[in-house]
Every structure is written in structure tokens, then in C-alpha cells.
């Protein structure tokens, strides 16, 4: 499989799609978003996503909720940036 940029990708590692609606790019299962979208997430929000993700193995419902909230905020940050760019 080739990505739009031409890099060869090991498809066995690709089990997720980028979390941004409408992107559809396959990403390794350890990643939330494709690189193009992840770099649009503000750094403090990137840290929040990663911190809450690493707290997930505790199987604590509050940890899951915190991670989901961080993911939602990251997606909203990308969408807001796209809307500003389109305006």
C-alpha cells in the first residue's frame, strides 16, 4: 500500500483510520490521527491525549472518559483550524 505521499506502509500495522471525520487515512493502531491532522492539534492538547491514553490500562471509567474527552477536543481543534483556513 502506498500513502498519498508515496511512502510504503506495512498494512499489517494499519488497523485504525484517522479520527478526523472525512479523512479516512489508515494509520497504525497506536496512533489517533494521520500526521497531517495530528500536527494541527495544539501541543497542550496533544499531551492531554497522550497522557489520558497512557492512563487507559487502568480500566478506570474516569480514565476512559478523560481520554474520550481529550480525543474529542483534539478532533474539534483540527476541525476549527480547517474552518478558519476555509474562511
Residues 5-64 contacting Zn ion, CB under 5 A: 18, 20, 23, 25, 34, 37
Taking the least distance from each CB to Zn ion, the nearer of 23 and 82 is 23
Q: How far is the CB of 44 from Zn ion (least distance, A)?
A: 20
CB 78 within 8 A of CB 20: yes
Taking the least distance from each CB to Zn ion, the nearer of 26 and 55 is 26
List, in sequence order, the alpha helices (H) in 6-87: 35-38, 43-54, 61-86
Query: Which residues are CB-contacts of 11 (< 8 A; sequence separation ≥ 6)?
Result: 1, 26
Q: Which residues bind Zn ion (CB under 5 A)?
A: 18, 20, 23, 25, 34, 37
Amino acid at each position: 500500500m502506498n500513502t498519498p505521499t508515496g511512502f510504503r506502509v506495512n498494512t499489517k500495522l494499519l488497523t485504525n483510520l484517522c479520527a478526523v471525520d472525512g479523512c479516512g487515512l489508515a494509520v497504525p493502531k497506536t496512533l489517533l490521527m494521520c500526521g497531517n491532522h495530528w500536527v494541527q492539534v495544539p501541543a497542550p492538547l496533544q499531551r492531554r491525549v497522550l497522557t489520558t491514553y497512557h492512563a487507559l490500562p487502568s480500566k478506570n471509567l474516569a480514565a476512559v472518559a478523560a481520554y474520550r474527552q481529550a480525543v474529542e477536543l483534539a478532533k474539534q481543534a483540527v476541525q476549527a483550524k480547517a474552518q478558519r483556513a476555509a474562511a
